[in-house]
């Protein structure tokens, strides 16, 4: 009990220190590495408040993938330094007071919780057997609130469309990201050759157990996307051109299957996105497998960035 309290207090203090450091450190690279460290601490906090699914997502996407994207742009913060005006001390004090007020207001909400706490846990548990899955989070994502999850993958695709549409005209139709380095360090190639088969296995495993245990398609897809990016970095494969039909099919298969099942629900179960009773679990797994492909492809392409080199003849 005391040990748990000690751990929680240490973790809380560490998170605040890392967050303050992240905002105040001068060097942008240090701030981004700080952000990734912060993500790991935050994932521990998620475990402490009994949300392991969220912790996994935080490590994979919140800390890992977001950190990689930010690292891609770290040089820009340096380039723009002299163009940016630093605010005066008076302004900083004013903003500090405002932000302190926001924090105090939120803290008051935390310290005066409604009693009894509002919860939908009982409703979620009551209908869990109808969905056929054992993990209530997966049941929420794929059954109770399936429409949200459908729109979420559309948001990921929209972000990718936005990133691609920022391609300079002369590079359109090319492969995403900068050209692969002429010489890749041998340890990196070695790492990619050994880690990728293992990583793909772990990614698929995390996806598969998501039905009953913490895990799921987003966490699994992030691991698959990371393995893809590792292969690209090691020069073992190159990103497909943004006009590739196979790439576009992979990006669309998830939302397309989701939509098809949703519309079929009108006839089979009487409503949009309703699953036929007795077949809920197989239907959910088919949708999730298609979404795994699409989300992994979209995340990999988001990590690679827009095309930055001439398309090959």
Partner 1 sequence: MTFPFDTATLYGLVGALLIGIGLFGLIVDPKPIRKILAFNLIGAGVFLFFGVVAKRGAGAGFGGDPIPQALVITGIVVAFSATALAVTLVQRLSQEEAAASDADGKDRP
Stretch 95-134 residues interacting with partner 1 (CB under 8 A): 95-96, 98-100, 102-104, 106-107, 109-111, 113, 117-122, 124-126
**Is the Cβ of residue 12 or residue 198 nearer to partner 1 in the bound state?**
12
Shortest Å distance, C-beta 148 to partner 1: 6
Is 162 among the residues that bind partner 1 (CB under 8 A)? yes
Q: Which of residues 228-247 bind partner 1 (CB under 8 A)?
A: none
Please pick, from the candidates 207, 218, 258, 275, the single residue that binds partner 1 as defined by CB under 8 A.
218
Q: Are 149 and 143 in contact (CB under 8 A)?
A: no
Q: Which of residues 249-288 bind partner 1 (CB under 8 A)?
A: none
Q: Are 216 and 222 in contact (CB under 8 A)?
A: no
262 CB neighbour count, 10 Å cutoff:
18
- Which one of the spans 198-206, 253-261, 267-275, 297-305 is the region binding partner 1 (CB under 8 A)? 297-305
Rg over CA atoms, the chain = 23
Please pick, from the candidates 131, 132, 149, 250, the single residue that binds partner 1 as defined by CB under 8 A.
149
Please pick, from the candidates 80, 129, 170, 248, the single residue that binds partner 1 as defined by CB under 8 A.
80
**Is the Cβ of residue 60 or residue 192 nearer to partner 1 in the bound state?**
60
Q: Are 215 and 209 in contact (CB under 8 A)?
A: yes
Shortest Å distance, C-beta 69 to partner 1: 5
Report how far residue 88's alpha carbon sits from residue 299's, in angstroms, rounded to the nearest whole number: 40
Report how far residue 168's alpha carbon sits from residue 305's, in angstroms, rounded to the nearest whole number: 12
Is 147 among the residues that bind partner 1 (CB under 8 A)? no
Is 90 among the residues that bind partner 1 (CB under 8 A)? no
Is 37 among the residues that bind partner 1 (CB under 8 A)? no
CA distances 121 to 50, 125, 219, Å, are 14, 6, 23
Is 58 among the residues that bind partner 1 (CB under 8 A)? yes
Please pick, from the candidates 10, 30, 155, 260, the single residue that binds partner 1 as defined by CB under 8 A.
155
Is 46 among the residues that bind partner 1 (CB under 8 A)? yes
Shortest Å distance, C-beta 114 to partner 1: 9
Q: Reduce the DSSP state of residue 248 to 3 states and report it.
A: helix
Is 84 among the residues that bind partner 1 (CB under 8 A)? yes
Q: Are 230 and 194 in contact (CB under 8 A)?
A: no
What DSSP string runs through 152-210?
Answer: HHHHHHHHHHHHHHTS-GGGTTS-BBSPPPSS--HHHHHHHHHHHHHHHHHHHHHHHHT
Helical (H) or strand (E) element with 149? helix 146-165
Degrees (nearest 5) of the Cα angle 156, 149, 299?
Answer: 30
Please pick, from the candidates 131, 132, 139, 291, the single residue that binds partner 1 as defined by CB under 8 A.
139
Please pick, from the candidates 37, 40, 70, 188, the single residue that binds partner 1 as defined by CB under 8 A.
70
């Amino acid at each position: 009990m005391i040990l748990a309290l000690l751990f929680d207090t240490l973790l809380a203090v560490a998170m605040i220190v890392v967050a303050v450091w992240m905002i105040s450190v001068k060097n942008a690279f240090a701030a981004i590495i700080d952000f990734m460290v912060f993500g790991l601490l935050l994932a521990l906090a998620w475990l402490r408040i009994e949300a392991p699914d969220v912790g996994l997502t935080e490590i994979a996407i919140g800390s890992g993938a977001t950190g990689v994207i930010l690292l891609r742009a770290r040089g820009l913060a340096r380039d723009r330094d002299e163009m940016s005006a630093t605010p005066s001390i008076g302004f900083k004090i004013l903003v500090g007071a405002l932000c302190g007020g926001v924090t105090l207001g939120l803290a008051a909400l935390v310290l005066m919780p409604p009693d009894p706490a509002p919860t939908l846990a009982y409703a979620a548990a009551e209908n869990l057997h109808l969905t056929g899955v054992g993990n209530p989070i997966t049941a929420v994502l794929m059954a109770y609130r399936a429409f949200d999850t459908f729109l979420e993958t559309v948001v990921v695709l929209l972000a990718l469309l936005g990133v691609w549409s920022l391609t300079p005209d002369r590079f359109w139709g090319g492969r995403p990201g900068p050209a692969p380095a002429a010489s890749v360090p041998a340890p990196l190639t070695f790492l990619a050759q050994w880690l990728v088969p293992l990583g793909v296995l772990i990614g698929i495993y995390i996806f598969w157990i998501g039905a009953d245990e913490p895990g799921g398609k987003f966490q699994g897809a992030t691991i698959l996307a990371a393995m893809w990016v590792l292969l690209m970095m090691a020069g073992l494969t190159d990103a497909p051109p943004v006009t590739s039909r196979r790439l576009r099919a992979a990006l669309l298969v998830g939302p397309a299957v989701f939509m098809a099942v949703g519309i079929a629900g009108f006839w089979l179960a009487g409503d949009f996105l309703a699953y036929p009773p007795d077949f809920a679990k197989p239907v959910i797994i088919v949708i999730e497998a298609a979404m795994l492909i699409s989300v992994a492809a979209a995340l990999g392409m988001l990590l690679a960035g827009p095309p930055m080199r001439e398309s090959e003849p």
